[in-house]
């Protein structure tokens, strides 16, 4: 459950330290699971910081990124869902994603996770926050740091942009 001290104007605004704490917990869970990670992949851009913390926990320094977007910015500044747009694919040891761990910041609508599951059926997926229930989340991802219910999350790396 999300920490109420990070609530600001009805939005959840976790700090970098909070993201690091949760990412380390995910790393400990991965280590405890016995999962052998051979490809660690950040879903850019949200998964970059958590992937850095997790890479230290699972002792893996070779990392990749996948750049995909399921949201577009509308002319009025709002965001809306769209078809998955992939602009960079990772170089993996297995085309099915065996041994790969994808890291993202949030499981929201499930669009990104559905794409990853379809494209890399043998991969594992970790997210810092899930807006879905624990039961629903297991359909999409393997590791969840915390459950954030249906609340808007302002990540520290998003709040710093002009």
Contacts of 127 by beta carbon, 8 Å cutoff, 6+ apart: 103, 104, 105, 106, 107, 113, 137, 141, 143, 144, 145
More confident position, 7 or 52: 52
Percent helix, strand, coil in the chain, to 5, is 30, 30, 40
pTM: 0.87
pLDDT band of 89, cuts 50, 70, 90? confident
Given a cut of 90, whether residue 131 has pLDDT beyond it is yes
Q: Name residue, tokens 């790969």.
A: 100
């Amino acid at each position: 459950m999300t920490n109420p001290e990070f609530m600001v104007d009805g939005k959840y605004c976790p700090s970098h330290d909070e993201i690091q704490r949760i990412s380390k917990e995910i790393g400990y869970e991965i280590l405890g699971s016995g999962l052998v990670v051979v490809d660690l992949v950040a879903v850019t851009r949200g998964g970059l910081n958590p992937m850095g913390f997790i890479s230290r926990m699972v002792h893996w320094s070779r990392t990749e990124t996948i750049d995909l977007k399921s949201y577009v910015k509308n002319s009025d500044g709002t965001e809306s869902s769209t078809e998955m747009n992939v602009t960079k694919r990772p170089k993996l040891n297995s085309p099915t994603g065996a041994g790969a761990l994808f890291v993202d910041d949030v499981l929201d609508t499930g669009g990104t996770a559905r794409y990853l599951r379809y494209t890399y059926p043998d991969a594992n997926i970790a997210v810092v926050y899930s807006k879905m229930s624990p039961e629903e989340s297991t359909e999409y991802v393997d590791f969840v740091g915390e459950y954030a219910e249906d609340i808007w999350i302002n990540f520290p790396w998003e709040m710093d942009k002009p």
